[in-house]
Amino acid sequence: MKKVLITGAAALTTLAGVAHAQSSITLYGLIDAGLSYTNNQIAGTGSGHSNWEMTSGAVQYSRWGLRGGEDLGAGLKAIFTLESGFNVNNGQYSSNNRIFNRQAYVGLSSRDYGALTLGRQTDSMVDFVAPLSLTGTEFGGTHFAHPLDNDNLNDSFQINNSVKYQSPAFGGLRFGALYGFSNQAGSFTNNRAYSFGMSYRAGALNFGAGYLQLNSSARTPAQLNTNGAVTDTTGASLQGALSPSGVPLGVLASSQKTFGLGVNYSFGPAVAGFVYSHSKFAQFFQGGLSGTFQNFEGNFRYALTPSVELAGAYTYSRAGGNGGGGIPHWNQVSAMADYHFSLRTDVYIQGAWQRVSPSGTSPLGVAWINGVSAPSSTTNQVQATVGLRHRF
C-alpha cells in the first residue's frame, strides 16, 4: 500500500511538472516619473502662470501587468493580459472605476492562424499606425501627441467588450480587426466601435494604416451607455477640451471616424518617418456640431551611441467644420534626448513648443500640449521634462 501511494505521488508530481512547463505567467511594468515645467497654464481665472510639478507618464503611461499563456499543442496557445495604469506620484489608478484599466483580455493564439482575443483592448490605430509616430513610442510619447490626441495614437482610450483578431506575419504583411459591442439591449449601435488595419515591413521600409469608428445615440452624459465600447480615458485628450463633463467626445457624437497611415525608413542608426491622420466628429453634443482634425507629422530619431538616442518631430494640425468655429491650426515642435544606463533603466530630457492660430470664435483658440494638466492662457505653450524611466 505504501509503495502504491509513493508511486502515485511521484506520478502526480511528474504531471504537475509537465503542466507547469506548459504554462507561463509574467509580471511586467513600466514606471515613468519626472519633473516638468510648463508656462502659461491657466489657474482658475485670469492670466496664465508657470508651473513646476512632478509628473507621471510624461513619455509613457506608468503601468503594471500580468501576461501569460498555456501551450495547448499543435502550435495553439491560450493567452491573457491584464494591465493597469497608475499615477506614480500618488499611487492611484489612472481610472477610478477599473483595476485593469489599460487592457484585460483572454484568447487563443495560433502559430499559423493568428490570435483571437476578447475583452478590453487597443484599436487598430494604436496597433498599426502609432508605432510609426513618435507619440506612440518610447521616443516621444505623451507630450508629442497630436493636439488633444484627437486620433488616439497615444492610446488615450481602449475599447471595451471587444473581439479582436491579429494575423501572423505573411512575408512582412500583418493585418487585424476589432469590434466593440454596445452591450445594450435594443440599442446595438449606441456606443459601439469597430476598427481594422494593416502593416507591411520590407527591409528598411515599414508601412502601416488603420481605421477606427465609434457610434453613439447619446446627446447628453445622462444618455450615455456606460457599459458600451468607450467609457473613459487614461490621458488628456479631446473630451478634456470640449466636454466639461469629461465624457469622451466621440461617445457623445453620432459618429467618430478616424483613419491614418504612416511610413518609416531606416538607414544606419537613423529612422525617418511620416504620419498622416484624419478624425471626423459628426453631431457632437446637443448643438449638432461637426468638426474635423487633420494631422501631418514628420519625425526623426538617431542612435548617437548604443546608449544615447535623439528624437524629434514636427506636427502641423488643422481643424475645420462648424465645431471648430473657423479653421484653427497648430504647429508643434518636439524633441527628446535619452540616455540608457541599461536595457531597463534610462533618463531623458524632452520638450515641446506649441502654437495655435485660431480663426473666428474657435473654442480651440489656446494652446494645450497633450498631457499637460491645464491649457495655456495664450496661443503659445512650452513644456519641458527631465525624467527617469524603469521597466521590469
So what's the pLDDT on residue 51?
Answer: 93
Task: Kindly state whether residue 310 falls inside one of the protein's structural domains.
Answer: yes
So what's the pLDDT on residue 289?
Answer: 63
Percent of the chain topping pLDDT 90: 65
Q: Could you write out the DSSP letters of every residue in 105-145?
A: EEEEEETTTEEEEEEEE--HIIIIIGGGSGGGSTTS-GGGS
**247, three cell numbers:** 465624457
Beta strand spans in 155-287 (E): 159-166, 173-180, 192-202, 205-215, 255-267, 270-284
Task: Kindly state whether residue 13 falls inside one of the protein's structural domains.
Answer: no
So what's the pLDDT on residue 3?
Answer: 42
Residue with cell 508530481: 13
Task: Kindly state whether residue 9 falls inside one of the protein's structural domains.
Answer: no
Side chain identity at 160, as an amino acid letter? N
The domain in which residue 382 lies consists of 24-391
Nearest to 266 by CA among 334, 206, 207: 206
At residue 195, the 3 state secondary structure works out as: strand
Number of structural domains in the chain: 1
So what's the pLDDT on residue 245?
Answer: 42
Which letter does DSSP use for residue 151 in this model? T
In terms of residues, how long is the chain? 392
Q: Mind listing the pLDDT tens digit for each residue in 271-298?
A: 999 999 999 988 665 455 678 899 999 9
So what's the pLDDT on residue 359?
Answer: 60
Q: What is the mean pLDDT of residues 178-207?
A: 94
Nearest-angstrom CA–CA distance, 353 and 189: 39
Determine contact, residues 94/101, Cβ cutoff 8 Å. yes
Percent of the chain topping pLDDT 70: 82
So what's the pLDDT on residue 386?
Answer: 98
Average pLDDT, the chain: 86
Distances from the Cα of 154 to the Cαs of 49, 350, 384, in angstroms? 27, 16, 18
Rg (CA), the chain: 23
CATH code of the domain containing 212: 2.40.160.10
Count other Cβ atoms within 10 Å, centred on residue 296: 14
Q: Mind listing the pLDDT tens digit for each residue in 304-350?
A: 999 999 999 999 999 886 544 557 899 999 999 999 999 999 999 99
So what's the pLDDT on residue 233?
Answer: 47
Q: With a cut of 70, say whether residue 138 has pLDDT above it.
A: yes
Task: Kindly state whether residue 18 falls inside one of the protein's structural domains.
Answer: no
Q: Mind listing the pLDDT tens digit for each residue in 77-127?
A: 999 999 999 999 999 888 777 899 999 999 999 999 999 999 999 999 999
So what's the pLDDT on residue 246?
Answer: 46
Task: Kindly state whether residue 86 falls inside one of the protein's structural domains.
Answer: yes
In terms of pLDDT, which residue wins out, 99 or 211? 211
In terms of pLDDT, which residue wins out, 215 or 109? 109
Q: With a cut of 80, say whether residue 206 has pLDDT above it.
A: yes
Nearest-angstrom CA–CA distance, 259 and 163: 20
Task: Kindly state whether residue 384 falls inside one of the protein's structural domains.
Answer: yes
Task: Pick left, alpha or beta for residue 94 (phi over 0 → left; psi -120 to 50 → alpha; otherwise beta).
Answer: alpha
Nearest to 309 by CA among 297, 298, 321, 300: 300
Distances from the Cα of 172 to the Cαs of 77, 268, 348, in angstroms? 22, 20, 32
Q: Mind listing the pLDDT tens digit for each residue in 37-77?
A: 999 888 766 678 899 999 999 999 999 999 999 999 999 99
Residue with cell 512632478: 54
So what's the pLDDT on residue 218?
Answer: 63
Task: Kindly state whether residue 145 falls inside one of the protein's structural domains.
Answer: yes
So what's the pLDDT on residue 234?
Answer: 39
Quote the Cα angle for 131-135-138, to 5°: 70
Task: Kindly state whether residue 62 falls inside one of the protein's structural domains.
Answer: yes
Nearest-angstrom CA–CA distance, 50 and 43: 10
CA 294 to chain centre: 18
Side chain identity at 235, as an amino acid letter? G
